[in-house]
Structure 1
């Protein structure tokens, strides 16, 4: 009965959609309402390193360069252009002139007074990440002098030099193939010293940048409201000042059913990461306004290498991998929208290997390995996950499948910020996590998540160490020949899979659906949270 009613209502919506006439010319004005599942845990580039936070930071913060929506190019942003020397160690960036910082935040004057951004601000922003121990600043650890600054031996980053107001130079210790891609990561956004030093750790509640929108109001667990930056530097192809929108409201709605109803009522304009239970209805009923593409996202369960039961028990880790029917969960729980994962790198990532040898569903082999691992009578585990309805559904399906092998799984959920804090500390032995690409290079997945230099907050949450893998990953960072790099990454990834440090589950897709009067949304290759909104407009 409920489904019949939903389909009937959807049919009414389809008629309304098809009868809508869309203007060919962009219009200025209006507030775009965008659903997010959780309150952003941070808006400070130092700590905003998960996707829920990045949706907010990308509205007010900008980097020197950015990734194109297709993921195939790196484009100018705060830097108009750049050059690199012959051995790929010295990078010089020329900044746009006339780019102003926001002159207010939360309706109050900003301390910087809306002044012009300069190369000194770039240097300060990079150094602040190191001094405040940002979890992701190590992406740029090849810049000369990183370790000395990180250790507190010096007060300035030697490899970041201000040549003049509009020129900044980075000098690397050695060639580093992913460097330009690394600079697209949102943590490397540029902020003003005055406001950052005034607020310190509270800058997250008073963020100031150069981006197209300014934080006006933040009602935690309800709404984060951003409004148009009237002094934004960007213009469209015919010279119209951007953004078109008057603002963006990030609507915090944890419940998928509530979010779906609000979208149907027209109270939400954009529904990203479409809930599984409404996926097919929205895909069919809003076809012209539905977008989906393979994402740079890998979904996994981590198995800690710091103690029992997983440390030094390869057969147990392999048994869990063989004991899960990924295809079945994908079809029954996820509407077939994900791809069962063989390994770490998702499709679309340079270096992805479709011939990787992963783990098929083989319950008999899982039972045999479980017995050889010393658990012929089974065992009990607790799986910790963050409280997203999809994560619970997947966990419950996995719980039922492993239960047939004599493995009893208890489920424990918590809020996303608390969950990841515990994961980074190493509190959990068995935990759900995912990795969304920060930049389009395999270094971001393989080096970040599996090099032993990166235990804990840096990304290697399982505390995995393999000397061969460490060596191959570090060689790949220095190698500028793509074919040789992919070969090194291929060896490393296969070894990681063989070591079964994760339960390799799914490569995720990224998706969103908009109301019919929302125009100009181009779903980003890196995910909905990276989708730019400067040229989005409302036909109202």
Structure 2
């Protein structure tokens, strides 16, 4: 059946079901004036200390505030801190807090609250996976190990002044403080809620949790006393819709105000005269990759890694499967960040050369390996294309689909030959695309790659405060990694979002936790 006709029939069937359900309900929509969008899964938690994924981070951003925040782009702006100074040697940060910045219970945020929030992440009892955010602070290790009553490098000078002393210069540190896990929580809220703090968050953000029906929706009401001004809408709602087609039908029916354009329907939406005026495009700080276990055969051999890279036609995948909604990647650092090497070519598609390398390395009869992927990731077509390219070049790749927890455990134990993954910026710095993934003994380094030269250069980049020198170091590290190929870098994604015609002042933000949705409003005068 022709794609457009099939598209119409499928939409008609789902749309009819939704229409019947709507007519079976009584009364007007109580959420009509709520800003509504959807995600495919529940957030794992609403506790900042446990925030490790994008779904959670978006909610943390609207419920809480940090000392500093990301702007529309990569800039870092004042938030709870109105200003700050950094010592010439880059080790001492002095933050001056806003007067009158209040939690939703009406109490003013103080420097003691900031100290408490950071120490709570470091406290083993919290079981936070985000301890690494605060390890640059003097005394953090002693506190985390139970050898000190507090973190000596968190110094409360007065109720509105906090000094943070680092053990050594760490250039990305300010970006760390804008991350979800560095959000400021009210100690009394944690004490009152106990292990249910995730369900009863007490922050200072523009929105207040109203209701959380797990695997259905989260609704929020406005914080009318928000420091930067009350939100302009009556509410905010995140609906949980796992199916992409259902999400698209709901958007077209007017039941969602914002949607990320699905890759599978990219042509339909971007070529629609109805929707084109309401689509925003932006290049993400992210990349997709095939991770290769550098300690496990066959990819402990760098020439076999090279062969795998030469076997894949990235251009065709981006063109045919992603419909051009990405840029082929030549390394880990996205083009928007200083340190990206615009001159280095991508590995060419050369299956004959790949096959010859495998023969030379003793794999004349084929090179077998398992390619792991999260079973919930909607990437079957992409994986099958990659598998086909690899097998045509002399590999024998077998795809293993498993739930994320099992896959993560296997990667952590070094039991995966190769795995499909992606990496999104936590802070807008090239270091975020290097240290967590390629520095020896870091938690996210699941491919067992280790290069002492890379380790030394990463430390130098972290301690260097000059932006130009840091960009040069980043490019040097990036070039080494591109040659070593611990990952097969696939593409840098571009996201397309579409809003309803009545939505006003929605703006795409570069960082996933930057948008607080407090300035969005509706104009329904044209209805």
Using the size of structure 2 for normalisation, the TM-score is: 0.89
* Structure 2 Cα separation of the partners of residues 486 and 181 of structure 1: 16
Are 2:62 and 2:207, in contact at CA under 8 Å, matched by a contact in 1? yes
* Structure 2 Cα separation of the partners of residues 174 and 410 of structure 1: 46
Alignment of 1:82-93 (within 5 A): 82-93=84-95
Are 2:122 and 2:134, in contact at CA under 8 Å, matched by a contact in 1? no
Post-superposition CA distance 1:121-148 (Å, at most 9, x none): 1001111111235333323322212222
2:35 is the counterpart of 1:46: no
Match for residue 531 of structure 1?
515
Of the candidates 144, 160, 169, which is equivalent to residue 138 of structure 2? 144
In structure 2, the CA distance between the partners of 1:283 and 1:497, relative to structure 1 (3 Å rule), is same
* Structure 2 Cα separation of the partners of residues 284 and 320 of structure 1: 35
In structure 2, the CA distance between the partners of 1:427 and 1:197, relative to structure 1 (3 Å rule), is farther
In structure 2, the CA distance between the partners of 1:129 and 1:81, relative to structure 1 (3 Å rule), is same
Q: How far off its partner does 1:29 sit?
A: 8.8
2:426 is the counterpart of 1:438: yes
SS in 2 for 1:226: strand
Match for residue 305 of structure 2?
317
In structure 2, the CA distance between the partners of 1:165 and 1:390, relative to structure 1 (3 Å rule), is same
* Structure 1 Cα separation of the partners of residues 439 and 193 of structure 2: 34
* Structure 2 Cα separation of the partners of residues 288 and 36 of structure 1: 23
* Structure 1 Cα separation of the partners of residues 461 and 440 of structure 2: 15
Deviates more, 1:462-471 or 1:387-396: 387-396
* Structure 2 Cα separation of the partners of residues 417 and 259 of structure 1: 26
Are 2:286 and 2:422, in contact at CA under 8 Å, matched by a contact in 1? yes
* Structure 1 Cα separation of the partners of residues 358 and 82 of structure 2: 57
* Structure 2 Cα separation of the partners of residues 260 and 299 of structure 1: 24
SS in 2 for 1:412: strand
* Structure 1 Cα separation of the partners of residues 307 and 389 of structure 2: 12
Are 2:461 and 2:473, in contact at CA under 8 Å, matched by a contact in 1? yes
* Structure 1 Cα separation of the partners of residues 269 and 382 of structure 2: 21
SS in 1 for 2:323: coil
Match for residue 240 of structure 2?
252
Alignment of 1:276-287 (within 5 A): 276-285=263-272, 286-287=275-276
* Structure 1 Cα separation of the partners of residues 157 and 32 of structure 2: 40
Q: Unmatched 5+ residue regions in structure 1?
A: 11-27, 104-113, 236-241
* Structure 1 Cα separation of the partners of residues 434 and 377 of structure 2: 28
Match for residue 298 of structure 1?
287
RMSD of aligned alpha carbons:
2.4
Q: How far off its partner does 1:325 sit?
A: 0.7
Of the candidates 399, 421, 432, which is equivalent to residue 411 of structure 1? 399
Are 1:296 and 1:348, in contact at CA under 8 Å, matched by a contact in 2? yes
Match for residue 161 of structure 2?
167
Q: How far off its partner does 1:371 sit?
A: 2.2
Deviates more, 1:117-126 or 1:415-424: 415-424
Are 2:287 and 2:423, in contact at CA under 8 Å, matched by a contact in 1? yes
Post-superposition CA distance 1:293-351 (Å, at most 9, x none): 111011112112343332x3112222111111110000110011101111100110122
Match for residue 16 of structure 2?
none
Of the candidates 366, 371, 374, which is equivalent to residue 359 of structure 2? 371
* Structure 1 Cα separation of the partners of residues 71 and 365 of structure 2: 53
Match for residue 106 of structure 1?
none
* Structure 1 Cα separation of the partners of residues 196 and 305 of structure 2: 42
Match for residue 18 of structure 1?
none
Post-superposition CA distance 1:238-291 (Å, at most 9, x none): xxxx2112222111112111111111111111112x211211222233122111
Of the candidates 208, 214, 218, which is equivalent to residue 220 of structure 1? 214
SS in 2 for 1:497: helix
Match for residue 55 of structure 1?
58
Q: Unmatched 5+ residue regions in structure 2?
A: 12-30
Q: How far off its partner does 1:490 sit?
A: 1.5
Q: How far off its partner does 1:9 sit?
A: 12
* Structure 1 Cα separation of the partners of residues 276 and 174 of structure 2: 36
SS in 1 for 2:265: helix
* Structure 2 Cα separation of the partners of residues 102 and 318 of structure 1: 55
Of the candidates 251, 256, 259, which is equivalent to residue 268 of structure 1? 256
In structure 2, the CA distance between the partners of 1:364 and 1:62, relative to structure 1 (3 Å rule), is same
Are 1:315 and 1:372, in contact at CA under 8 Å, matched by a contact in 2? no
Match for residue 384 of structure 2?
396
Match for residue 121 of structure 1?
113
Match for residue 33 of structure 2?
30
SS in 2 for 1:250: strand
2:232 is the counterpart of 1:231: no
Q: How far off its partner does 1:494 sit?
A: 1.3
SS in 2 for 1:46: helix
* Structure 1 Cα separation of the partners of residues 500 and 405 of structure 2: 30
Post-superposition CA distance 1:70-126 (Å, at most 9, x none): 22x2111111111122222211111122222234xxxxxxxxxx4222111100111
SS in 2 for 1:205: coil
Using the size of structure 1 for normalisation, the TM-score is: 0.87
Of the candidates 476, 479, 495, which is equivalent to residue 494 of structure 1? 479
Are 1:213 and 1:226, in contact at CA under 8 Å, matched by a contact in 2? yes
Count of equivalent residues? 500
Post-superposition CA distance 1:421-457 (Å, at most 9, x none): 6545655332111111111111111112111131x3x
In structure 2, the CA distance between the partners of 1:497 and 1:369, relative to structure 1 (3 Å rule), is same
Deviates more, 1:326-335 or 1:351-360: 351-360
Q: How far off its partner does 1:387 sit?
A: 4.1
Deviates more, 1:217-226 or 1:160-169: 217-226
In structure 2, the CA distance between the partners of 1:53 and 1:412, relative to structure 1 (3 Å rule), is farther
